[in-house]
Amino acid sequence: MAKEKIKIIGRSKEILELEKAMSLGRNVLIEGPVGVGKTFLVRQVLESLGLDFERIDGDTRYTENKLTGWFDPPLVLKKGYVASCFIEGPLLTAMKKGKILFINELNRMPEAVQNILLPAMDERHIMLPKLGRVDAKPGFLVVATQNPREFTATHALSEALLDRFEMIPLYYQDRDEEIEILKNELGPKVRTDVLERVVDIVRATRNHPAIKRGASIRAAIATLKLFVGGIDLEGACLMALPSRIEMVSSDDDPRQLVRDLLAMQIFPEFKEKKSPQK
């Protein structure tokens, strides 16, 4: 299928690695901090290649049946345990049709659910009770994303599962690329110097000794959307950033920290000049 234009700014190395790995039939795990662009990268690459995929968003209550499929009780009562009474889950559909299974936030899934993937990824078949063996068609592979281990509400992947993935780590992008992303998202609605201020504040949260987890490009986009919507820059930063950063000590107030960063970034000109041309 014809390749559509990719809307991703930068990331050429990661795009190439992901495309190559998939063309070689390898399963790929993209790992990086919250909001760094993992889901966006995978979705854009799959869509630009015109690849058919099944998407799952992992959560702690995801069940084994939801992944593989289940027998529909009313139908089973009528017909018994026959294949036509089985409602296919995304894993089964992807295997039978030779599609990509895109698992977003893989390590939010309970370990028992993760384990079902092992034979599917390795031996390319699974055994289902009362249904028997299901084989994977060529083209089936798993592309997954996850936050690194230190993040809460995740279940560390087993060594066996990690052993079946090739890993592409995603780090925060450089300043110029982040400014470019914001320009792309917000168009000409925001002055470049305002974009730069927001990028600098957001980037400062990532290196601050009192902050465990800094803000991402998603936080910068949110700040600027509030600003474009008419909230002054200081207010926008205070609305968008504190909830998106995690302090090392729970006694510290992220709101105060954002205030301190704003003060360091010398904002008075923005307060005085409520320019009509934002």
Ligand X SMILES: Nc1ncnc2c1ncn2[C@@H]1O[C@H](COP(=O)(O)OP(=O)(O)OP(=O)(O)O)[C@@H](O)[C@H]1O
Contact residues for ligand X (CB under 6 A)?
8-11, 32, 34-40, 145, 147, 181, 184-185, 217-218
Select the binding partner of residue 201 from ligand X, Mg ion, none (C-beta < 5 to 8 A, by kind).
none
67/115 Cα distance (integer angstroms): 11
Minimal distance in Å, beta carbon 177 to ligand X? 7
Residue whose Cβ sits closest to Mg ion: 39
Closest contact distance (angstroms) between CB of 38 and Mg ion is: 5
Q: Whole-angstrom Cα distance, residue 254 to residue 247? A: 7
CB atoms within 10 A of CB 39: 16
Provide the minimum distance between the beta carbon of 43 and ligand X in the complex, in angstroms, as a whole number. Answer: 8
Q: Which one of ligand X, Mg ion, none interacts with residue 11, CB within 5 to 8 A by kind? A: ligand X
Give the residue with the Cβ less far from ligand X, 92 or 186. 186
CB of 231 to Mg ion, least distance (A): 26
Which partner from the list Mg ion, ligand X, none does 181 bind, CB cut-off 5 to 8 Å by kind?
ligand X
Query: Closest approach of Cβ 87 to ligand X, in Å?
Result: 28
Shortest Å, Cβ 192 to ligand X = 17
Between 9 and 67, whose beta carbon lies closer to ligand X? Answer: 9
Choose between 102 and 140: whose C-beta lies nearer to ligand X.
102
Nearer CB in complex with ligand X: 181/215: 181
| CB within 8 Å of 202: residues ≥ 6 apart | 178, 214, 215, 216, 217, 219, 220, 223, 241
Quick one: what does residue 218 bind among ligand X, Mg ion, none, with the CB cut-off 5 to 8 Å set by partner type?
A: ligand X
Closer residue to ligand X, CB minimum distance, 99 or 213: 213
From the CB of 97, what's the least distance to ligand X, in Å? 25
Query: Which one of Mg ion, ligand X, none is in contact with 37 (Cβ closer than 5 to 8 A by kind)?
Result: ligand X
Question: What does the alpha-carbon distance between residue 265 and residue 234 come to, in Å, rounded to a whole number?
Answer: 11
- Give whichever of 35 and 90 is closer to ligand X, judged by the CB atom: 35
List contacts with Mg ion (CB under 5 A): 39
Number of Cβ within 10 Å of residue 205's Cβ equals 23
Name the residue nearer to ligand X (CB basis): 157 or 217: 217
Closest-approach residue to ligand X (CB): 37
